[in-house]
Structure 1
């Protein structure tokens, strides 16, 4: 080494970015959805990923996952109500970007039974002739200042009480003629979900 020059920093010692942490979080969440790791192990790894500072912290968290797994990201979702309506409910894999249009028959996005560890979800919603309804779990919050009400109106019925490790919904678009609403589950939906869970 030349006198007076600092030693080069090894890659493992380099600091990681927010995007790199988020990519590992996505990969781990997808691995759990595929049954590759269980939920208790997922929680441990997610905590380590979110607090990782260097590549050395991140690398072991996905070292036992097959390489092809990283090449299978969740594709953006496009949901169009069309003539008869469209819904996405139950347990489904949530992408980071969603476009939903009411069409003629309305559209509904229901996140209440999803397992989502993304820090943010971008949703572009357009009411068109049919309405758009977005249902998010308690503890999720929405940023809706960029929404235009249009003729049909826009209603944000969510609370601002965000729980740790829950996504922020960034909602853009317009109410169109049919309107757009984002809300938490209503009492009937809560009772239905409890019955399904045997509670």
Structure 2
């Protein structure tokens, strides 16, 4: 009996050869329009580059269109969002807000709540440092997001993870670190009351 050697696994495509998505093309279009508004390229060149951007098939084809332009600021460039509970508590959300790559929450005496349910976030990962301290920290994430709590020290207040593992492609991973302290840290999806509000007013406007 002849044993056939295993077929080699397909090699991953170089990043520049990866197929571009509609969102990738739209991001380049916006960057080109901003460059024209700033006087970096003239409008004839803008038209030519826009046409190429809209028909680009790969990341490499898009990259050459913006290679001579400044890189636009991204969410990763934003400074960390720091929330301190203090005496009266602190919160961010549930309205729309810009999500940086790192969020630091100190529960303090008043507690902290971080609500991501109405945000649009294209980051692959958001690090949330939560310190329960006296009154705790509550983090609410959309149903399609997941959390990694393996780096969290539960402390005396504990860690309550009520999230699922069903992650929708294109959504960020919430990497939770820090310590539960006395107040503890809770990370969960919206409850019934919050879901009713989301359904009745999905835009949060």
What TM-score results when the alignment is normalised by the length of structure 2? 0.67
Secondary structure of the 1:156 match is strand
CA displacement at 1:71 relative to structure 2? 7.9
Residue in structure 2 matching 1:108, options 86, 107, 113: 113
Residue in structure 2 matching 1:157, options 162, 168, 174: 162
* Compared CA separation, residues 71 and 93, structure 1 to 2 (3 A): closer
- Measure the CA separation in 2 of the matches of 1:125 and 1:195: 30
* Compared CA separation, residues 165 and 79, structure 1 to 2 (3 A): same
Describe how 1:61-100 pairs up with structure 2 within 5 A.
Answer: 63=66, 67=70, 69-70=72-73, 73-89=77-93, 90-100=95-105
Larger radius of gyration: 2
- Structure 1's unaligned 5+ residue stretches are 1-14, 37-44
* Compared CA separation, residues 56 and 197, structure 1 to 2 (3 A): closer
Match of 2:5 in 1: none
Match of 2:49 in 1: none
- Measure the CA separation in 2 of the matches of 1:186 and 1:58: 43
Match of 1:131 in 2: 136
Would you say how many aligned residue pairs link Structure 1 and Structure 2?
Answer: 159
- Measure the CA separation in 1 of the matches of 2:176 and 2:146: 11
- Structure 2's unaligned 5+ residue stretches are 1-13, 35-52
- Measure the CA separation in 2 of the matches of 1:177 and 1:196: 35
CA displacement at 1:121 relative to structure 2? 0.5
